[in-house]
Amino acid sequence: MLNDKKVLFSGMQATGNLTIGNYFGALSNWIKIADEYETFYGVMDLHSLTVRQEPAQFRKRARSLMALYIAAGLDPVKNCIYFQSHVSGHAELAWILNCFTYIGELNRMTQFKDKSAKHADNVNAGLFTYPVLMAADILLYQADVVPVGKDQMQHLEITRDIAIRFNNIYGDVFTVPEAYLGKSGAKIMSLADPTKKMSKSDENLNASIYLLDKRDDVIRKFKRAVTDSDNEIRYDESKPGISNLMDIYSCATGKSHDEISAEFAGKGYGEFKIAVGESVADILDKLQVEYDKILADKSYLDGIIKENAQKASYFSEKTLRKVKKKVGLTERIK
């Protein structure tokens, strides 16, 4: 706990273009609960290195991600928004925690299995120890709560296991964090295949709605979304396409599934899909106006990058000093 507030940590990889899955599953929740916590939001650029990046494009993406955090509504003065690679404590703590994590545990990570199948020519050690760096991110700030989408739950579990293991040996060093999942939107599915998660890296561009998609594209993609053929707007496991669209509409409008079914009773899928598209496009229009403004103001963004890196370093150093002492590393003489 910092001051009298609990600590929140979360972040996104600076890989690919953000989708409404990232937005409704994570970013919009960050904004909803930010005021209750002392917050740290990382642009997780070290994690992105587990997949080959083109350097110039990568640098641009990372900056763009930071601008999106702010455009979505995170005030960078109240919230510490920073680049992971600017705080060396992440990598240092990750090394120490590597020595407290078992290969058997990492072998069970489904994301590792998925990613190594996808990038079979580059199954690097970073991909394998990815969850340990993520544990370091969270534990470095003594985070109480970590708002994420459902796909990150396994990584949260291993973070908790590592923290508990470490605390059992050395006393209460780490806060054991809890995941925070939103009421709806914790798993937004692909528009092309609603049994698959919507993903930044889907090769089919019609499968995902990107935060920087133009209005016409957003509506066109929703019109083409794969659904069943019974034409009834009802939330049901056997109707993954329509249920996914109902989830998205619920996230965009705040309406419950029952309210949505009532609103569209007797109406067809065509009308519903356009309404979903419009509701999402309205949100993205506003976000894009802000995003363009922020990205155009170089010195504003540079100032935030500089100040927040200092702030994050300051907090992270406290934990790192404690951890080093506990494991018996010799203190540096200044």
Q: List contacts with ligand TYM (CB under 6 A).
A: 9-13, 21-22, 25-26, 44, 47, 134, 137-138, 146, 148-149, 151-152, 155, 185-188, 197-198
Nearer to ligand TYM by Cβ, of 87 and 303: the residue is 87
Q: How many residues does the structure list for the chain?
A: 334
Q: How far is the CB of 75 from ligand TYM (least distance, A)?
A: 20
Number of other CB atoms surrounding residue 246 within 10 Å: 24
Nearer to ligand TYM by Cβ, of 2 and 300: the residue is 2
Nearer to ligand TYM by Cβ, of 263 and 313: the residue is 313
Query: Tokens for 242?
Result: 């329509």
Q: For helices 125-140 and 298-327, what crossing angle results, to 10°?
A: 90
The CA distance from 155 to 76, in Å, is: 26
Q: How far is the CB of 40 from ligand TYM (least distance, A)?
A: 9
The CA distance from 201 to 208, in Å, is: 9
Helical (H) or strand (E) element with 220: helix 215-223
The CA distance from 226 to 63, in Å, is: 34
Q: How far is the CB of 140 from ligand TYM (least distance, A)?
A: 10
Nearer to ligand TYM by Cβ, of 95 and 169: the residue is 95
Q: Are 274 and 219 in contact (CB under 8 A)?
A: yes
Active site residue 197: yes
Active site residue 298: no
Tell me which of 115, 221, 239, 273 is the catalytic residue.
115
Nearer to ligand TYM by Cβ, of 44 and 287: the residue is 44
Question: Which residue bears the tokens 């970073």?
Answer: 126
Q: How far is the CB of 330 from ligand TYM (least distance, A)?
A: 29
Q: How far is the CB of 20 from ligand TYM (least distance, A)?
A: 8
Nearer to ligand TYM by Cβ, of 197 and 239: the residue is 197
The CA distance from 143 to 9, in Å, is: 6
Q: How far is the CB of 198 from ligand TYM (least distance, A)?
A: 4
Strand order in the sheet with 145-147: 80-83, 37-44, 6-13, 145-147, 178-180
Residue showing the smallest CB distance to ligand TYM in the complex: 25
Tell me which of 197, 221, 239, 273 is the catalytic residue.
197
Query: Tokens for 190?
Result: 């692909």
Tell me which of 6, 200, 223, 326 is the catalytic residue.
200
The CA distance from 23 to 290, in Å, is: 15
DSSP summary character for residue 27? I
Active site residue 267: no
Catalytic center residues: 115, 197, 200
